Amino acid sequence: MTDAAPPGSGTTLVATAADGGRRLDEFLATSLAVGRRAAMRLATRARVNGRTARKGDRLHAGDRIEVPDADIRSGAAADAGLVVRRELPWVLVLDKPAGLPSVALKGAGGDSLAARIARRFPECTDLGTAGEAGLVHRLDTGTSGLLLAARTAEAHAALRAQFRAHAVVKEYRALVAGRLDHPLRIDVPIGQHRSAVRRVRAIESADRARRYASRDASTEVTPERVFATATLVRARTTTGARHQIRVHLASIGHPLLGDPLYGSAAPGSEGFLLHAGHLEWTDPETGRAVHDEAPVPATWDARLAELMRTTDDPHSTAGEPSGAGRARR
């Protein structure tokens, strides 16, 4: 089980009654979906109830295990497995890497997050639409970050109901083109593009919104760091229209840097940076509010460092979200 940890402090795991007596390295291998060697390395970096741990330590119910996020990232990369941020008997919180599809294309095989879930948690296989393996929402292939998957039919129905009611909060970090120096809110429906099957578009006109079967969508955008030609932002939403963050940011003239669909990606581009790092939802079994966090991938470091070296204004100009500068339909 994973609690949200203060920014930069790492991931905190809590041992349950069922974990009593387990070795620390075995517990980490299961909880973080890494191999045994990686788990042994993580155990030497972990702290149990605030104290330095050893890989052979035996756990007790209620023990709090803290692991630095940088070590989790390196361990997960080494094992190329399924990164589980929270594991409950009825729900999983997963951290999807960029480049991995959430679900394989219909009729196609190949690797996907759903396929990895089904291999490790076979009880998820038949939950939801065929091939989803319990996933109750998706991320674009190029997007990394948190996803929820159900392990029981009851949890699947309850989580889907939360999404329909816009009761799940998602927060992303994104690198966008251009300088964005003030918070804003974008309330513009999203519908199918009239000439490109792979694309959707923001639709300002009410008549066109009806014609293209658009979905209401709302995104709060807050600048976090402004560079010379780009801005690192946080985008917060409770709606989940297809490509929502990418389309909304493009609609205000700040597409994701390197987005081939909604911006401009030069040949050989490294792709866009978009990470779903924060998720707020309600545990369907206990009714308690849950917050989950996932650090941005280590692959972001080099691109952000390059922007910092070339910018003429590396300082943050971010403020708190406000009514000023809002984009409304």
Cα–Cα nearest to 116, from 136, 130, 102, 99: 102
**Distance set, CA 92 to CA 82, 107, 121, 136 (Å):** 11, 25, 10, 11
| Per-residue DSSP letter, 315 | S
Please give the positions annotated as active site: 140
Rounded CA gap, 97 and 68, in Å? 18
Which stretches of 2-151 are DSSP H helices?
Answer: 24-32, 36-45, 69-79, 113-120
Phi and psi dihedrals of 3, rounded to 5?
A: -100, 150
Cα–Cα nearest to 224, from 167, 292, 300: 300
